[in-house]
Structure 1
Amino acid sequence: MLKDLGVRHLRIHSDSQLIVGQVQGEYEAWELNMIKYLQNVKDFAFNFTTISIQQILRAENVQADLFSKLAMVGAADLKRNSYLTTLEKPNIEEPTVMKTDPKLSWIDPILHYLQDGVLRVDRDEAKKLRHLAPQYLIYDGRLYKKSFTLPLL
Structure 2
Amino acid sequence: MALAVSAVAALAAQLTACSDDGTPSDTASKAASAASRAASAVSEAASAVTEAGDALASATAEAGRKFDEFKNGADAKSEVKTSGTASPGSDGRVTAEVTATNPTSSAKSYVVQVDFRDQSGNLLDTTVVTVDDVPAGGSKNATARSNRSLTGDVKTDVARAARH
Q: TM-score, normalised by structure 2?
A: 0.21
Hey, which of these two has a bigger chunk of strand by percent? 2
In the superposition, the TM-score normalised over structure 1's length comes to 0.22
